Amino acid sequence: MTDYIPTRVLTVDPSAPDPQIIAEAAAVIRAGGLVAFPTETVYGLGANALDERAVARIFQAKGRPATDPIIAHIANAHQLDALARDVPPVAYALAQRFWPGPLTLVVWRRPIVPANLSAGRATVAVRMPSHPVALALITAADAPIAAPSANRFSRPSPTTAAHVLDDLAGRIDLVLDGGPTPVGVESSVVDLTVDPPVLLRPGGVTVAALRELLPDVIFTPRYLTADGEAAPAPGMLLRHYAPNATLIVVEGGRDAALARIRHEALTAISAGKRIGVLAFDEDAPELSDLPVQVVTLGPATDPEKVAQRLFAALREIERAGVDLILVRDPGQEGLSLAIRDRLVRAAEGRVISAEP
């Protein structure tokens, strides 16, 4: 059981953070404490990445299994060499192209990196976020910051400070409230310790963009269990981002998928269940006659907006007290691949065809 900690909240300008507030948060990091802060993807739960005890506090606060590694966040590309050895030339090319931004590189770790950060593996995951608050905090702390998503393990990731407090109030020292995060889904994770490189987690950088520099990059979804092998990167467990309700993803063409959602909803309603639907904006009117709770995701044609809203929508529909959540498969083009990955894991792999 984690001891109760009075969690303070400091509001910070997301584009021009107050140096005094940042210095206060950095002092908490240097003292081995935990600070939640906004990145461009989601809120991270930060600790000194080189302090084994501080990293252990992250696992404890989140209830995160030791087999799930944590990303080290840096504020300049030179810090990559301090954490990693034998860095391949393509890593620097990727960093020049995509950093700061939502791309994480898995490389060989140096002994200075505590083993628990990397779930005991010989690798380390590193990225440089683009959010001004994150960069300012890392710089002021004068250390790389370990930062998984600032939520309880397996819950939907937090995209606002309120989401962080819902899960971690009383478990962490400080929250920097910088407003909602702009991207909304986590970084893409590429393993550069294998040849050809492997995309371990789709995210804010699309496969097409990666292939401009890594034409042979491979992506094959893997679904690990929390009590199994140490994962090579975060976000690879089968149950992840999950609400407190059963979620089912319906794949297939739009019309057929909506018909299947209607069928599943009516069947469940007849069994006395409360139903929620995560609906794209253009789909919502076609479900308005059903006695279900509808939460919109944004336009299906605008995956950037859907990604930004995804986790907030999962938390909103959960608060409605539904037993079953249905959602149409967003597809696998561009950023939709990352959205689909999060939904499949939130559903614990429950994906059904539009054809009954």
The model's pTM: 0.95
User: Looking at the structure, do residues 39 and 164 belong to the same domain, yes or no?
Assistant: yes
End position of a domain, from candidates 161, 192, 211: 211
Q: Using CB atoms within 10 A of its CB, is residue 31 exposed (0-12), middle (13-18) or buried (19+)?
A: exposed
pLDDT, residue 159, reads 98
User: Looking at the structure, do residues 265 and 349 belong to the same domain, yes or no?
Assistant: yes
pLDDT, residue 321, reads 96
pLDDT-derived band at 2, boundaries 50, 70, 90: low
Domain CATH number, residue 186? 3.90.870.10
pLDDT-derived band at 356, boundaries 50, 70, 90: low
pLDDT at 17 over 60: yes
User: Looking at the structure, do residues 335 and 275 belong to the same domain, yes or no?
Assistant: yes
Each residue of 118-138: pLDDT tens digit? 999 999 999 999 999 999 999
pLDDT, residue 226, reads 78
End position of a domain, from candidates 211, 234, 264: 211
pLDDT, residue 318, reads 95
Task: Answer for the pair 45, 148: CB distance below 8 angstroms, yes or no.
Answer: yes
What value does the mean pLDDT take over residues 56-78? Answer: 95
Task: Answer for the pair 76, 142: CB distance below 8 angstroms, yes or no.
Answer: no
Distance (Å, whole) CA 243 – CA 240:
9
Q: 293 pairs with which residues across the strands?
A: 276
Each residue of 140-149: pLDDT tens digit? 999 999 999 9
Q: Is 171 inside a domain boundary?
A: yes
Q: Is 241 inside a domain boundary?
A: no
Each residue of 272-326: pLDDT tens digit? 999 999 999 999 999 999 999 999 999 999 999 999 999 999 999 999 999 999 9
Domain extent for 261:
246-353
Q: Is 234 inside a domain boundary?
A: no
User: Looking at the structure, do residues 131 and 66 belong to the same domain, yes or no?
Assistant: yes
pLDDT-derived band at 228, boundaries 50, 70, 90: confident
pLDDT-derived band at 229, boundaries 50, 70, 90: confident
What value does the mean pLDDT take over residues 333-349? Answer: 96
pLDDT at 1 over 60: no
Each residue of 178-214: pLDDT tens digit? 999 999 999 999 999 999 999 999 999 999 999 999 9
Beta carbons within 10 angstroms of residue 277's beta carbon: 25
The total number of structural domains in the chain stands at 2
